[in-house]
Amino acid sequence: MAIDIKSKHEIEKMRRSCRLAADVLDHVEPYVKPGVTTGELDRICHEYIVKHGAYPAPLNYKGFPKSICTSINEVVCHGIPGDRELRSGDIVNLDITTILDGFHGDTSEMFFVGEVDEAARKLVEVTRRSLWLGIQEVGPDKRIGDIGAAIVEYANKQHGYGVVEAFCGHGIGREFHTAPQVSHVGRRGTGMRMRVGMTFTIEPMINEGTHQCDVLEDGWTAVTRDGRLSAQAEHTVLVTDDGVEVLTLRESARR
């Protein structure tokens, strides 16, 4: 499948959608506290997205019923917002995808609820660092397999965590999920070469224990097979002449 190269004009639209997705994380963060339900977080994000002239991509996407994904503790990804109240000690991923002026921006981040123990904090720290090690492998003529290789070398070989294989990063633009697939367990020197103007996500899911996942009866919620914790972080990136531009940087990181 041919990989879409974005024009200058399209890149500007990607930048705007991605910036909005990052702004949603900034907006919702103060509400991520013990006692709030994931359904309330969904509503807060939905309203912010719509108010800014965009549409929440998950809503009705292949039947997904809500506007964001909320993945708590052993949930790997695609958790469905609902009545579950956050409790002190939880770790939760909020995954935001906006469609603004026809273009998708996709980003997710982990939040600590109240007091979180050391093991969970470490998992989240390693997950965030994994994402950035993957991002460092992006650049013109570099190979896509090196992204996952960097992630697996650090998160698995160095820290012993399970790197999820069942879900990948993806090309993104007018479509939510398109080629290329971006594996988080790639091998060095394999995969297609990146070209200037490509946009895709990197979104490693890192498990405390086994990398194996199961999907619950609802058809969406992916959980760790051993019930141990999972964490994820995601950015949308653009391949540039001199390397990479992270399109979904949050305001604090943009300055």
Binding residues for ligand MF3, rule: CB under 6 A, are 58, 61-62, 64, 69, 78, 95, 97, 106, 201, 203, 220, 234
Give the type of residue at 205. M
Q: Which is nearer to Co ion, 152 or 237 (CB)?
A: 237
Q: Which does 8 bind (CB under 5 to 8 A by kind): ligand MF3, Co ion, none?
A: none
To the nearest whole angstrom, how small is the minimum distance from the Cβ of residue 107 to Co ion? 7
Task: Kindly state whether residue 109 participates in binding Co ion, applying the rule CB under 5 A.
Answer: no
Sheet bearing 235-240, strands edge to edge = 178-182, 169-171, 199-202, 235-240, 243-246
To the nearest whole angstrom, how small is the minimum distance from the Cβ of residue 160 to Co ion? 26
To the nearest whole angstrom, how small is the minimum distance from the Cβ of residue 38 to ligand MF3? 13
Single out the residue of 4, 23, 42, 95 in contact with Co ion (rule: CB under 5 A).
Answer: 95
Task: Kindly state whether residue 4 participates in binding Co ion, applying the rule CB under 5 A.
Answer: no
Length of the chain, in residues: 255
Q: Which is nearer to ligand MF3, 58 or 180 (CB)?
A: 58
Q: Which is nearer to ligand MF3, 61 or 132 (CB)?
A: 61
